[in-house]
Amino acid sequence: MGKKDLSKLYERLMAEKRRLEAERARLTDRSGSGQGAGLELADYDLNHPADAGTELFDREKDLALVENVNSLLDQVNGALAKIASDTYGICDACGGRISDARLRALPYATMCISCQSRYED
């Protein structure tokens, strides 16, 4: 992969990182660790007692989303670290090259396609 392609992927990874961090902040905010959010929630439950279950479900869903965002962030940060250390595009499992097409489709891929499919079995 040429330097130009690599710097394009780097830009994409940085943009993805910012997007994921913003998403995580939004989700963490909404799951209401703050005092204000708690009060709001109490008011809401008082007026709509039947919706309390839905609210709980939404918070659980948010937590699952935060976990998902965190694991994506790990992958994105891993890819950025690999670019910095000049090992980007090397499969974590077999040490072979990950194809450029795969990296363009999934810039934070850590394994080549054959290792990935073996891993998923």
Rounded-to-integer distance, Cα 17 and Cα 37, Å? 27
C-beta atoms surrounding 9 within 10 Å: 21
Q: Residue 20's CB: how many other CB atoms inside 10 A? A: 20
| Shorter beta-carbon distance to Zn ion: residue 73 or 112 | 112
Minimum separation from the CB atom of position 3 to Zn ion (A): 24
- Decide whether 72 or 115 has the Cβ nearer to Zn ion: 115
Question: Using CB under 5 A as the criterion, which residues of the chain lie in contact with Zn ion when the complex forms?
Answer: 91, 93-94, 96, 112, 115
What's the closest the beta carbon of residue 80 comes to Zn ion, in angstroms? 20
State the minimum distance, in angstroms, from the CB of residue 83 to Zn ion.
18
State in angstroms the smallest separation of the CB of 33 from Zn ion. 41
Instruction: Give the position of tokens 């040429």.
Output: 2
Q: Which is nearer to Zn ion, 27 or 98 (CB)?
A: 98
List of E strands, 1-121? none
Rounded CA-CA distance 38/53 in Å is 16
* Closer Cβ to Zn ion, 4 or 121, answer by number: 121
The single-letter DSSP state of residue 51 is G
